[in-house]
């Protein structure tokens, strides 16, 4: 159980982040909701959860990353769990190398990799003070397979996986660091790619052992498991309905 613990979930105004916030709150944690832009949705979610707090800020900005963490500690008095969920992508066919410009690479890495790094570094002193703390990074199966919404996105998640292992080796025993690697999950990201989403959804449902795409709640369940798996660190837990085995 997470009763009495404080959890900061970045990028949690919708989708996977919101599901994680709801699940951790249901487990008894005091939740800090964050978003870079969707302030209204973030405040609305926080208002629905017991004693939750909303903090607006962009993890890609070094000052914001530090401020988000400090605001969480100032409001709640401690920090036990950090979920690095904030992420961005661009839907670019893998074969379209020209479209994956340097600007796209920088935008994606600034949030998915550097943002997670900055927020974790800012959180470490507070997590150490709490003891038995946990960091969970939201990665993707595209980190280990030649697929995904774009090449820069897949590479950013591969970097996040390795960062997870490197941090786990450095931050134990006080802080455990793990990651969840979801497969195709039904989130608002796919609103901008309806045709791609529908074809991918049908294909995954047909070829996955569990015969469906994932939900944000499926990922949230895995995150909660890792926050209380006391002898697990440096792990990347795949949540894809078994697609990786077929």
Active-site positions read 153
How far does CA 94 lie from the centroid of its chain? Answer: 23
| Among 51, 56, 47, 1, CA closest to 24 | 1
Q: Which residues of 110-145 are buried (b: 16+ CB within 10 A; e: fewer)?
A: bbbbbbbbbbbebbbebbeebeebbbbbbbbbbbbe
Instruction: Pull the structure tokens for residue 163.
Output: 């960062």
CA 141/CA 209 separation, integer angstroms? 16
Instruction: Pull the structure tokens for residue 16.
Output: 């996977």
């Amino acid at each position: 159980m997470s009763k009495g613990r404080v959890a900061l979930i970045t990028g949690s105004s919708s989708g996977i982040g919101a599901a994680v916030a709801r699940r951790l709150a249901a487990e008894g944690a005091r939740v800090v909701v964050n978003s870079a832009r969707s302030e209204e949705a973030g405040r609305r979610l926080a208002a629905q959860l017991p004693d939750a707090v909303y903090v607006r800020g962009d993890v890609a900005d070094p000052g914001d990353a530090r401020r988000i963490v400090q605001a969480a500690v100032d409001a709640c008095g401690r920090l036990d769990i950090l979920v690095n969920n904030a992420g961005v992508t661009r839907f670019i066919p893998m074969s379209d190398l020209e479209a994956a410009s340097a600007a796209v690479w920088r935008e994606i890495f600034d949030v998915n990799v550097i943002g997670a790094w900055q927020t974790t570094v800012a959180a470490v002193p507070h997590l150490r003070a709490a003891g038995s703390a946990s960091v969970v990074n939201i990665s993707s199966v595209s980190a280990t397979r030649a697929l995904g919404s774009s090449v820069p996105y897949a590479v950013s998640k591969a970097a996040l996986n390795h960062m997870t292992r490197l941090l786990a080796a450095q931050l134990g025993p006080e802080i455990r660091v793990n990651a969840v690697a979801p497969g195709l999950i039904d989130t608002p990201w796919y609103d901008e790619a309806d045709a791609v989403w529908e074809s991918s959804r049908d294909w995954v449902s047909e070829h996955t052992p569990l015969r469906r795409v994932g939900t944000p709640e499926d990922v949230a369940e895995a995150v909660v498991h890792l926050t209380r798996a006391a002898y697990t660190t440096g792990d990347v837990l795949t949540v894809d309905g078994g697609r990786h085995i077929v």
